[in-house]
Structure 1
Amino acid sequence: MPPNDDDQAARLERARQIGLFRYMLIREAADPSLTGRQRGALVRKLAGEEHTDPDGRRVRISRWTLDRWILEWRQGGFDALIPSPRQAQPRTPPEVFELASALKKENPERTAAQVRRILKAQLGWAPDERTLQRMFNRTGLASLQTPRQTAVFGRFEAGCPNELWTGDALHGPRIDGRKTYLFAFIDDHSRAVVGHRWGFAEDTVRLAAALRPALAARGVPQYIYVDNGSAFVDSWLLRACAKLGIKLVHSAPGRPEGRGKIERFFRTVNGEFTVEIASAEGEVGREIRDLAEMNRLFTAWVETVYHRREHSETKVAPLERWMAGAPFPVPAPGDLAEAFRWSEHRNVSRTGTVSLQGNRYQVDPQLVGRKVELVFDPFDLTYLGVRIDGKDAGTALPFQINRHSHPKARPEVPAEQPKPTTGIDYLGLIDREHAADLSSKVNYVALAGGQPAEPVEAVDLTED
């Protein structure tokens, strides 16, 4: 039975995730400015460490594999690191996975190997240990462990501004009955707030609204450290960081160490800013009318209060400490716009068309049968750039447009429901226009010094 479109899209997405994992791993070692000795030291260091793959497993990558990935990246760019998605269908019946999940939930201390032994004893057959472990990681069952003693970590601080930014989201008060969320990024060295944005959703669009202006105004950091929230693991963020040369680091599930500074900042926000907002009728505080006012007031608080006050730990004002490393190079507007576009891969049909979110587009007939990358602004699906092997291949011309924006690109303010009447007084408009027209006419008789003509008495033409 051939795979459906959803299965094919899932395999393509997994292949891109693997490609991004490989790129983020070799990015520093592949730097052309390194000498052979420096590159060899970095590769040996990477080969000696464990890394978290897209399935959440801790894996080791051999030096030979890392060298091969670096060579492939040099020869073919990012696309060369994306593996070909497998076409095979899953061979493990769903009921076996359900039984394995039940065994794991029954006793979280059971390892994948132990669950396999039980399945084999019960059914006479069982999938291999790695298949079960991948399933446990994918469904979150791997985190069901008996609490153990927490490891002790020393204090860490980046050595200079823009070396490390930490990002997170804060659940805020309700505005006009809707819950708000704050996306913020702080510089680890100075504790300066480099980017922020209040919004009505905790999604990728609102995250981009906080990060993109930060990169344009504050420069590009070496690292961005975030958690595993859905907005922070979206493929668009991985693509943006890869395009700008930023190494994106996610904290291990259940291990929030390293995000203490931004959590401390959020406590300050709650204690000094959101506490002054009236989140319900009758509460003491300022009533916020809309998000524009919320963001304007928050920017004023950050720039005039938080940034200029001595930090309790560094003993220096955050803005002063961040400016000590200035100036910082900022990306060109074209490079920044390219980094924040979204992309998806599609196969060109025999008719020279591709489909995206229910829309159909016409591409160059020479691309028939090939897999292309469609690059687009999520808010405008009427224009798509076409790339193949990382090179420009023209544009996709709209053929049939059913959706003008990506489903994830939801606006801050939902569209209002149509009203039964417009409230327009058409006759009143005509009357006012006529009165204005009369008042603007010139009285030539008065200008000539003559007497105004007597008004003409109306005559009833219906009389005999």
Structure 2
Amino acid sequence: MVRRSVHDKIDLLRQHDQGVPWTRVAAESGVPLRTLSHWASTYRTDPSSTSLRPARRRDRGRRRLPAELVETIEGLALRRPEPSKAFIHRRVADIARDRGLPAPSYSTVRAIIAGIDPGLRTLAHHGDAAYRDRFELAFRRTADHPNEQWQADHTLLDVMILDKAGDPARPWLTVVLDDYSRAVAGYTVFLGAPTAEQTALALHQAVNRKTHPAWPVSGLPDVLYSDHGSDFTSARLEQVCLDTHIQLIHSQVGVPQGRGKIERFYGTITTELLPHLPGYIPHGTNGKPVSPPSLNLEQLDGILERFIVTEYNQRNHSQTGDTPAHRWASSGFIPRSPARPEDLDLLLLTAAATRKVQRDGVQFASTRYISPILAAYVGEHVTVRFTPRDVGEIRVYFNNEYLCRAIAPELAAEHVSLEELRAARATRRRELKQQLRQRRSLADALPTDTRYTPIDPSHLTGLTDSSDAESTPAPPPVEVAPRQNRLRLYATD
């Protein structure tokens, strides 16, 4: 029997109202005469479209299958690992026959399994983490102004490069991201496992002003948000945040939702930058690159900086509707800076072994570094701190106090001229002469040394008799030997 809509039923009833006999309407429509009369009676009683709708079954949503078999099917379907529907159907059919109950059909078993709560199935088959990621509500917090909160995290890049020995290796990337603008504030790329030192280098770059004019992000954040990695929970990073008044907050263990913004940036790097590089490792290749690696760490660092500064920070973000660089700089706020930048260097930069200041500067990593200030510290032992990203200069500390920046003339963009060195030497010489005059003036002002001065006999009383003094012969004169020259001269040969 063809199922009729409400509008079709009303059209048939109107034909009868227009004078068409019921028998003709029934013959042309194929609807039994008894059904037509029932529709007409119902419509007269309630002249609305809802009265002609088919009545719902009273047992709709109820299964004729016994409740115990339904519970058995659901219990089997929630086992781990998840069994197949065919296995559940066969198992339930055997149980029903043993209990003298009618066996359910395969379609009934499949419908019962499909009706189980999806959250319950996810929790049963995939665990708490999968259920949390799919079904639990997440609180999404957004910063209200730049530098209110920074996120920091590491990722292993899907690319292979060459290390110093020429062997292939996968680099790590540490990124510091501003939560408000989504701008990258700082980063560092390195080989080897993540450490607190690499995190400090990325944070050092993020806080300091950049040399690139299109990269305005700088200053100290109010909050630094990171995971529970050993490098982020280190005493060194905690001391840095304490000294710079940064609140260090860690995400919950095993809950990565709070770091979604920085994870999205990593996805951008993986999909838009790395596929264009030699040594790229696509997903599903078991760590095998599609092309031989040829980049070294310094080249990859330069490529990453160019992508971050000229592409990522300069294009509109889908959520903010603005470019990260413009959104960070357009708020008009003044970044909070360290009281003394050299204090931040002392906390964050890599500490090297102690070096002795030579006459030609400081020798470090087979490179000579010079500065006019070092002229006053020749022969002293100093501490050298540096950043691997810029080997053209080092920071020099004396007794844990910042002294100066020293540059390598062969590597740095700056240079120290001969006139500057001459001026530094002359200044140092004048300082030493001034100290010499002060020391000599102090010595000249001391009273005369009289400890071993000969005593005048006339001042002696009661010690000798005058007659004895007159009768005592004078000692013979002492002959002084002529002075001999240390140098051998022709006259003395």
Task: Identify the structure with bigger relative contact order (alpha carbons < 8 Å, sequence gap 6+).
Answer: 1
TM-score by shorter chain over 0.5: no
The TM-score with structure 2 as length reference comes to: 0.39
Structure of greater Rg: 2
The TM-score with structure 1 as length reference comes to: 0.42
